[in-house]
Homo-oligomer: A and B are copies of this chain.
Amino acid sequence: MENYDSHHCSRQDLQDFLTHVLSAAGCDAPSAAAVTRAVVDASARAYDTHGVRLIPWYLQCLEGGRINRSPRIDISRKAPAIVHVDADNGFGHLASYRAIDALCEVADQQGVAVATVGRSSHHGATGCYTVEAARRGFAALGMTHADAVVVPHDGITPFFGTNPISFAVPLEGEEPLVLDMATSSIPLNRVMLRRSTGAPLPPDVAVDGEGRVTTDAHHAAALLPVGGENFGYKGVGLAGMVDIFCSAFTGMQHGAKFPCFNGPDFSRPIEIGHFFIVMQPALFQAMAAFNASVSALVGDLRRQRAKPGKAVHAPSDLEKAEAGRRAREGIPLDPLTWRAFQLLGQRYGCPLEQHVAA
User: What's the minimum C-beta distance from A1 to chain B, rounded to whole angstroms?
Assistant: 13
Contact with B along A183-217 (1 / 0, CB 8 A): 00100000000000000001111000011100000
User: What's the minimum C-beta distance from A343 to chain B, rounded to whole angstroms?
Assistant: 36
Shortest Cβ distance from A279 into B: residue: B114
User: What's the minimum C-beta distance from A229 to chain B, rounded to whole angstroms?
Assistant: 10
Instruction: Report the Cα distance A33→B270, complex, angstroms.
Output: 50
A277 pairs with B277, CB closer than 8 A: yes
Shortest Cβ distance from A292 into B: residue: B248
B185 pairs with A227, CB closer than 8 A: yes
User: What's the minimum C-beta distance from A283 to chain B, rounded to whole angstroms?
Assistant: 4
- Is A117 in the interface zone, CB < 8 Å from B? no
Chain B residues closer than 8 Å to A249, beta-carbon distance: 139, 279, 281, 284-285, 290
**8 Å CB contacts to B: which residues of A253-280?**
253-254, 256, 277, 279-280
Instruction: Report the Cα distance A339→B78, complex, angstroms.
Output: 54
Tell which of A153, A238, A241 has the most Cβ of chain B within 10 Å.
Answer: A241
- Which listed segment binds B: A12-20, A55-63, A297-305, A349-357? A297-305
A181 pairs with B297, CB closer than 8 A: no
Instruction: Report the Cα distance A247→B87, complex, angstroms.
Output: 36
User: What's the minimum C-beta distance from A318 to chain B, rounded to whole angstroms?
Assistant: 9
A116 pairs with B284, CB closer than 8 A: yes
User: What's the minimum C-beta distance from A312 to chain B, rounded to whole angstroms?
Assistant: 5
B226 pairs with A304, CB closer than 8 A: no
Say how many copies of this protein the assembly contains: 2
Q: A248-B293, A290-B248 are in contact. Are A241 and B167 (CB under 8 A)?
A: yes
User: What's the minimum C-beta distance from A203 to chain B, rounded to whole angstroms?
Assistant: 8
Tell which of A84, A109, A233, A304 has the most Cβ of chain B within 10 Å.
Answer: A304
User: What's the minimum C-beta distance from A320 to chain B, rounded to whole angstroms?
Assistant: 14
Chain B residues closer than 8 Å to A324, beta-carbon distance: none
Chain B residues closer than 8 Å to A101, beta-carbon distance: none
Chain B residues closer than 8 Å to A153, beta-carbon distance: 312-313
- Is A100 in the interface zone, CB < 8 Å from B? no
- Which listed segment binds B: A40-48, A155-163, A327-335? A155-163
- Is A344 in the interface zone, CB < 8 Å from B? no
- Is A4 in the interface zone, CB < 8 Å from B? no
Instruction: Report the Cα distance A297→B283, complex, angstroms.
Output: 36
